[in-house]
Amino acid sequence: MKAHETSITPKGELIFAKLNRPEENDSGVLKYSTGLLLNKKDAEAFHEAWVEVVEEEHGTGKGVTIPELKEYHDKEGNATGKYIFNFSQNAEINGDKKTVPFFDAKGAPVVGQAPNVGSGTIAKLSFSPIPYAVGKTKKGVMLALRAVQILELKEFGSYNPGFEAEEGSYEAAATPPARSEFEQTADYPDHHPQKPAKAAGKAKPDQDLDDVIPF
């Protein structure tokens, strides 16, 4: 994992997925976002790599936010044995509206109507670690979402209506066999880096972090 470079996460379970329709955060900025639940082994490796990026970019001094390894607890407060990492992307960058690109399990882009991706979907995420600095008091590295590879889809609000296969002429359009950065998914850290993303600017002391990071 390197700052500004595109990397691929291990396979995990999406939670609190807001990937089809952005929602406002506490600062009123529209964002696409999702949590990713990883097993302990993958989570520890991913967390270690993330911390290394933070220390390479900012050191360990005052004001540096070192990511915590957070175990996810269910609604009843029970430990799940899975660890959560959060990713986000701005819905608008420099006046241009953005959407989250989706890819299928073979690495081909999903065309036409995007799937209604819900929590419980098994996926890998394309992301970039983006360093940020707000004045001299807050520094860190955020995980900027780039794209989602859907391995097992669980649609938001989905249910089984009980239909079975019948004779007929209509079939859903097939996805074209185009390739992508998701190359036959090898587990992290054996990802396929892409070209570095443009670095984010530094914030002035009175600027909001969401105004500085265009993701």
Half-sphere exposure of 16 (CA within 13 A, CB side): 16
CATH topology of domain 7-158+169-212: OB fold (Dihydrolipoamide Acetyltransferase, E2P) (2.40.50)
For residue range 12-34, list pLDDT tens digits in order.
Answer: 999 999 999 999 988 888 999 99
CA-CA distance, 98 to 114, in Å (whole number)?
Answer: 14
Number of residues in the chain = 215
The stretch 41-45 carries a mean pLDDT of 97
For residue range 136-193, list pLDDT tens digits in order.
Answer: 778 999 999 999 999 999 987 644 556 677 777 666 665 554 455 555 444 444 444 4
Judge residue 59's burial from the number of C-beta atoms within 10 Å of its C-beta, 0-12 exposed, 13-18 middle, 19 or more buried.
Answer: exposed
**DSSP state string for 135-183:** TTTEEEEEEEEEEEEEEE--BTT-----------S--PPPPP----S--
For residue range 117-133, list pLDDT tens digits in order.
Answer: 999 999 999 999 999 98
Task: Say which DSSP state 2 is in.
Answer: -
| Domain edges within the chain | 7-158+169-212
Of the listed ranges 42-46, 80-84, 111-115, the least confidently predicted one is 111-115
Neighbouring C-beta atoms of residue 106, cutoff 10 Å:
15
